[in-house]
Amino acid sequence: MLLHDDLYYSESHEWIRIQDGLATIGLTDFAQSELGDIVFVELPDLGAKVSADEPCGSIEAVKAVEDIICPLSGVVEERNNDLDDKPDLINESPYEEGWLFKVRISTPEEVEKLMSALDYRRMVES
């Protein structure tokens, strides 16, 4: 299982990279490997207000369809439109080319409830 120490992680298996109040959100390597081949992604619309711990999209794989749970509240500023034609980028490169969307964080204190790579690994392995 590939993890990056400079990222935050959520209990619902999203990773979060925060730079200047903008959170890039993606699906963890663990989650994509559990789902298998991803065939479709539904992302939130640009400008959409999203809330922490609420569904904001979905990922369809050969094995299952899972909600994307937004780890932080804010407004969607960017979507990875490459996933429209190549949803398997999430399988191939979950932390780089397979990112999902970017949110301008409205409630910075929500970051405190996210996990470090070590805490996420412990959760997954328990």
pLDDT at 122 > cutoff 80 = yes
1 part of a folded domain:
no
CA atoms within 13 A on the CB side of 77: 12
Identify the CATH number of the domain in which residue 12 sits.
Answer: 2.40.50.100
111 part of a folded domain:
yes
126 part of a folded domain:
no
What per-residue confidence (pLDDT) applies to 63? Answer: 83
Residue 106 sits in which domain range? 8-121
117 part of a folded domain:
yes
80 part of a folded domain:
yes
pTM: 0.95
2 part of a folded domain:
no
Domain count, the chain: 1
